[in-house]
Every structure is written in structure tokens, then in C-alpha cells.
């Protein structure tokens, strides 16, 4: 295995990780933004208030994107196994 192959493998692993985690992170950020706007307008400054809505939002995004996440991870795993077969 050449150095370029290892670099490509690590790059692909990081890219798949970012791609798979993006929906959950975006949902958490959007819910946090909405809750912080509500907190600002109502002058409620409770830090723990954002935890439950973010948790629910992340759970919903996992349910909605689970099929896509599974296909992405399985495709990456097939690529890694095909690289192993070459060597």
C-alpha cells in the first residue's frame, strides 16, 4: 500500500464522517438558534432549556436520515474492502 493510498483512505474516512454527522449537527444548530431567539425575546436565560429540544431534534434527524447514513457508511465500507482485496 502506497502513501497516497493511505492518505486517500484517511481523507475519505474523514469526509464520510463529516457527511454523515452533518444533518444532526445542522439540526442541533438550528434548534439552538430558535431556542436562543425565544430566550432573548422572553428574557428567560436558563441554559438547560436548550438541551431537551436539541436532543429531540437530533433524534428526529437520525430517524429521518438513517437510511441515507446507512447507505453512505456501507458504500464506504465496500470501498475499503475492495482496497483490501487489491493488496
The residues near 27 (Cβ < 8 Å, ≥ 6 apart) are 57, 58, 60, 61
Identify the domain containing residue 64 by its residue range. 3-86
Element (H, E) at 8: helix 3-42
Give the whole-angstrom CA distance, residue 3 versus residue 6: 5
Rg (alpha carbons) of the chain, rounded to whole number = 19
What pLDDT is stored for residue 4 in this prediction? 86
Residue 5's pLDDT is 84
Q: pTM of the full predicted structure? A: 0.81
Q: How many domains does the chain have?
A: 1
For the segment 68-78, what is each residue's pLDDT rounded down to a tens digit? Answer: 999 999 999 99
pLDDT attached to residue 7: 92
Amino acid at each position: 500500500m502506497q502513501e497516497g493510498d493511505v492518505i486517500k483512505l484517511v481523507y475519505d474516512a474523514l469526509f464520510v464522517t463529516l457527511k454523515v454527522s452533518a444533518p444532526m449537527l445542522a439540526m442541533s444548530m438550528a434548534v439552538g438558534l430558535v431556542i436562543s431567539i425565544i430566550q432573548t425575546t422572553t428574557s428567560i436565560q436558563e441554559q438547560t432549556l436548550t438541551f431537551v429540544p436539541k436532543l429531540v431534534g437530533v433524534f428526529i434527524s437520525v430517524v429521518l436520515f438513517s437510511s441515507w447514513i446507512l447507505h453512505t457508511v456501507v458504500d464506504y465500507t465496500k470501498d475499503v474492502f475492495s482496497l483490501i482485496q487489491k493488496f
